[in-house]
Structures are given as structure tokens and as C-alpha cells.
Amino acid sequence: MPTVLLTQRFPDPVMEELRKRFTVVGPLSERHALIQAIPLADALAVTLAEQVDAELLSHASRLKIVAVYAVGYNNVDLAAAGARGIVVTNTPDVLTETTADLTWGLILAVARRIPEGERLLRQGRWEGWAPTHHLGTDVYGKTLGIVGMGRIGSAVARRAAGFNMVVLYHSRRRLSPSEEKALKAVPMALPELLRRSDFVSLHAPLTPETRHLIGKAELELMRNHAFLINTARGPLVDEPALVEALSNRGIAGAGLDVYENEPRIHPELLKLENVVLAPHIGSATYETRVKMGMVVVENIAAALSGREPSTPVRVG
């Protein structure tokens, strides 16, 4: 059977399916171990935590596919893979709704100060109800700005209808008129979106052009009562600039599931009460993580049998 090299363990149903169809090696995530094992691998299944660069691929004499267990794939050197005829795949679609749910969880949590309130209770500091105690911000009827109106951004926009929100969006590709009508979404340039939104939610891919898409200048455009939400990619945001904006109350708060230098978190973010922090759990439901794994399995099976995988990464 063909050999599949894993860098991390997947949910049990996925592991069972892999072992039925392939010889599984790993999980091996340490760099030296990967270099040692990859010459015998026909397929490599990785997460965003592992760098698949030209050096690693130079040892991959048999490799036909790098299957990324994520939507993002900027950890893979696509040019180096392409030069060796190695297919790269990802797992879009199956995590769209789950990530949109988490986005809304962060919106509500930071606007209504839910984690902050729980900490108050757990620390025994709550003294009872009072008219001006622990006041948050309404979400219903506010303006939501979505940066990146792809699958996940659109799913977030659909949920905004239940909160009767005005939806603005900025995206590299404009929606069709029918899509804009269905989502009640208004396109506009990023600076204007930032000026007008009460909540700004990031759903753009990470590219050289979008790295630090939200920096000091962009944060200064936002309203001082506005919130920034990021469930996309950490490096979309200049974290030191965000820390400054949160510390100085240039913006009201932030809800973050991704970070610029994961798994390291900017130490000042950990000290701030007006930021809700989640440990990169946008797709972290049992059902979705199994679905993601099955996409990886089927992509590997297709590539190793000479067929085109269902979700190849297209360059350019």
C-alpha cells in the first residue's frame, strides 16, 4: 500500500480510514524526523503548524501530494511543490459554517463582555445586580463590516440578518448583484468600511498583499466604540498596533481566534480585559474536524491513483 506521512493525529474515524487504505507513518511533527521519513512517503498530510518548504521537499523523492488539513496553505512552498510535480490540496467548504458560528460567538462574547463577566464570578468579585454594572454593547441593528466575502464571510453575513444588521463588505472579488441582494450586503472600499462599521470581521486569505492588512493606520480609521474580529489568519493584523489601539481605547475591543506568531500570543493581549481570546478553534467541532480529515483522505486517494483531487490549490 502507498505510504502516507502524518504530522499530527487526526480524529479516530479519519485515522481508521487512513489505515484501511494506506500505510500510515507518524504522526511526526519534529523537523528532523520529517526529513528522515519523507523519502519513503507517497503522500504528506500536514496542518498549518508545519512548514513544507523547498528544503523538506528536496528529500521527497516519491511524494505526489501534500494534503493540508486546513483552508489556508501558506505554510507550503507552492512553487517548490509545483516544480516537483507535487499536488497541494486543502479543505475548504466543510468548515465554512462552523467557522462562521465561532465568529458570531466572538462577536457576542466581546460585545456583551461574557468572558469578563465569568471571570468576575469565578474570582468571587460579583456583588450583585446593579443598573450600571458590567454594561456591554448591543449587537442588534448595528453595522457589520466584512473584509473578505468568500465562503466564510458570506456565511457570517447570512447570520447577520437575524440581528437586523447593516452589512458592508470589502473583497477582492465583488459579489454578483443577486448575491448582494440575498445577503443585503453593500460593497465599499476598505477605509470607508472601517470608518462606518461597529464590528469589523476579517475573512480574507493570507497573501503577501494582505499581511498586516489591518495596521496602525487602519485601526485609527475605526470608531472608538467598534470591535475587530479575526477568525481568518493571524498575520492579517499587526498585533503591536492592535495592542496599542486596545490599550488606548482607540477601538472598544477585539475577538481573536488566530494570532500573528502562533502558538505564541503577544503578552500584552493576555493582560487586556477588552479582548476575547480563543485558541484557534474556528473549525474545532468533532463533526467538522472529521469532515476535514475525510477530505484529506479522498484527496490523497485521488492523487495516488492518478485522478485530480477534489480541492486542489490553484496557483495564480
Positions marked catalytic:
233, 262, 280
With vertex at residue 276, the alpha carbon angle to CA 218 and CA 189, rounded to the nearest 5 degrees, is 25
CA–CA separation, 67 and 83 (whole Å): 17
Per the structure block, which three cell numbers stand in for 161? 440578518
What does the DSSP 8-state code read for residue 41?
A: -
Strands 253-256 and 3-6: unpaired
Tallying the residues shown for the chain, one arrives at 316
Per the structure block, which three cell numbers stand in for 5? 506521512
Task: Decide if 203 contacts 232 (C-beta within 8 A).
Answer: yes
Residues 6+ apart with CB under 8 A from 17: 293, 294, 297
C-alpha torsion 241→253→134→265, nearest 10? -60
Strands (E), the chain: 3-6, 23-25, 43-46, 65-68, 87-89, 143-147, 166-170, 185-187, 199-202, 227-230, 253-256, 275-277
Task: Decide if 189 contacts 163 (C-beta within 8 A).
Answer: no
Residue of 211, 213, 259, 280 whose CA lies nearest to 69: 280
